[in-house]
Structures are given as structure tokens and as C-alpha cells.
Amino acid sequence: MSHGDEKTPAIVSLLAGGIAGAIEAASTYPFEFAKTRVQLREQKGIPTPKNPFKVVLGVYRNEGIRALYKGCSSLVVGSVAKDGIRFLSFDTIKDLFKDPETGTLSPLRSLAAGSASGVVASFVAVTPTERIKTALIDDARTERRFRSGRHAVVTIWRETGIPGLYRGLAGTTLKQATATAFRMGTYNILKDFESRKQIKQSTVTNFANGSVAGIVTTLMTQPFDTIKTRCQSSRGASTVEAFRSIVADYGVKGFWKGTTMRLGRTVLSGGILFTSYEWGVALLNPTFATVKTTILKD
């Protein structure tokens, strides 16, 4: 994302996005864990609480603190790649989407740029890492056949090949396209509005903008997230099978399963992600500017 009139270098977007993704994923993972547990099919006779804190507390009491971070490493690695690529592609694509006459990005073009960058991130990084994370969480409460993230990758690869690692590609890509459109688009729209109103950017405004973007994103994309989770359970399911199973289990309202958990996470994660990204850009820009100047002098 540009800072003022200065374009952020591609390498800075990539690195700052990756760092922000790792910080965001690690710091909010228990909420992601709770949300995923709720979206997966309930075990017979063991209903899942709707309150995310009850889910987290129940898992902590019965399975220990380590269980709450089952699949976390997979998500962190995926978030480094996902958010690095997402910020890089958004910063690149939005320049292509700018009005050629005014050089500005309208709200609709902001959403379109975000959607395109979400598709790129889904294919390159998000789908396989989300598949492993979800499979690990599901497996931990049922069969317990995966010893680690690496073991899950090897097992799924042996059983189903590359298609197994890309289970839920359609649902994930739909989710990423819409989620990135609303998350990056909303944040960019808010920043542009504040720039026109001459509101100074700070940690508080960055966090607030990111949190608002997270709320909008969650409410608009929850059905895609629920379908994706069902597709990426330990044994996997097709998008059609996942859709049918959600309707059979809960009816139409089932597509918004886990909304409370996801909101609890995205309010924090949106603020953390964009604040960390802006910090990363502020720290890395001078470093790379110095390196570039040194190279040009030599």
C-alpha cells in the first residue's frame, strides 16, 4: 500500500506482509481454533458451545494448552506466504486498476484489486496451508492419526496426491477473493477517506481501520469460510458435499456457524495485521532505500 504519494517497493510489501501475517496468525490462533472446531461436524452426544471462550477453556481443561495450538505452525507458515503475497499482489494490482486520468483508486476499483489479489493468494499459498491446519484440528478430536503438520502433508500426499492438498480450492478461492476484496478494499477506502480529511495516520487509526475491515470481511464472507472448513476436514469433502452436509445439519443458518468466533478473531486480527504491516513498511523502507542508494553509488 502506498504511503502518501510514495509507492511501496515490491520487496518491502512482500516482507512487511509476511511479518504481519506471522504476528497476526500466532497472536489470534486460539480464536481460529475455536471457530474451526465449531464449523466441523459435532461428535455424537457432545454439542459444541457457541461461546468461543467456552470452547477454548474446554479444550484447555481436557486436552491442555498445546491442543489449542494444534495446526498453528501450519497457519503461521501459510500466513507468512499468504499475507506477503496478498500485500504484494494488492500493491501491484491496485496500480494497474487506478484511473489513468486521475491516478486515483475508486472504492469499486479497490474492491476489485483486493479480489484479484485474493485469488492469487489462494492458489499460491492459502488453500494447501488451510487444508493442513483444518485437517490437524479435525484429526485431533477424532482419529489422531497425524503426528505433526509435516506428517499430515506426507499422509495426505500419499493417499490423494496434490488434489488432496487442494481440497476446498473452490470454497477457499471464493472466500479469499471476497475476503481480500473487503479487507484490503475497506482498509484502502478508509485510508483514502482519512487522507482527504487530513486525518493523521497513527497506530490507533491503523488498528481501528483494520478492525473495521475485519468486521466487514467476516460478515460478508462467513458462508464461504464454513464451506471451506467442511471441505478441508481430516478426510476431506467436495464443495457440493460440504454444502449439503451443512444444510442437512443446521439448515441455511448453518452457513454462519462460527461467526462469533471469527468476529472475535478478525476484530483483533485486522487491527494487528494492518498495524504490523504499516510498522514493517516504516522500518523496511529506509533500509532498502539505503541499500539501493549504496548499490547505485557503487
Across 92-96, 113-117, 166-170, 234-238, least confident range: 234-238
Q: What is the pLDDT of residue 8?
A: 82
pLDDT (tens digit per residue) in 104-130? 788 898 899 999 999 998 998 888 888
Which amino acid is located at 164 in the chain?
G
Instruction: Tell whether 3 is covered by a domain.
Output: no
Q: What is the pLDDT of residue 138?
A: 82
CATH number assigned to the domain comprising residue 114:
1.50.40.10
Taking 50 as the threshold, does the pLDDT of residue 235 lie above it?
A: yes
Asked whether the CA dihedral 184, 85, 93, 232 is positive or negative, the reply is negative
pLDDT (tens digit per residue) in 148-165? 888 999 999 999 998 989
Of the two residues 104 and 276, the one the predictor is more confident about is 276
Across 15-19, 48-52, 85-89, 209-213, least confident range: 48-52
- Tell me which residue range forms the domain holding 262: 10-292
Mean pLDDT value of segment 201-212: 94
Rounded distance, CA 253 to CA 256, Å?
6
Mean pLDDT value of segment 65-81: 83
Rounded distance, CA 179 to CA 265, Å?
14
Mean pLDDT value of segment 38-57: 67
Question: Residue 195: helix, strand or coil by DSSP?
Answer: helix
Rounded distance, CA 60 to CA 106, Å?
46
Rounded distance, CA 294 to CA 298, Å?
6
Instruction: Tell whether 4 is covered by a domain.
Output: no
Rounded distance, CA 84 to CA 158, Å?
29
Instruction: Tell whether 27 is covered by a domain.
Output: yes
Q: What is the DSSP letter of 67?
A: G
Percentage of residues in the chain having pLDDT higher than 70: 90
Radius of gyration of the chain (CA): 20
Across 25-29, 56-60, 185-189, 250-254, least confident range: 56-60
Instruction: Tell whether 298 is covered by a domain.
Output: no
Taking 70 as the threshold, does the pLDDT of residue 45 lie above it?
A: no
Across 62-76, 110-124, 168-182, least confident range: 62-76
Mean pLDDT value of segment 211-232: 87
Instruction: Tell whether 297 is covered by a domain.
Output: no
Instruction: Tell whether 163 is covered by a domain.
Output: yes
pTM: 0.72
Instruction: Tell whether 239 is covered by a domain.
Output: yes
Taking 80 as the threshold, does the pLDDT of residue 258 lie above it?
A: no
Mean pLDDT value of segment 249-262: 85
Instruction: Tell whether 1 is covered by a domain.
Output: no
Taking 50 as the threshold, does the pLDDT of residue 5 lie above it?
A: no
Q: What is the DSSP letter of 122?
A: I
Q: How many domains in the chain?
A: 1
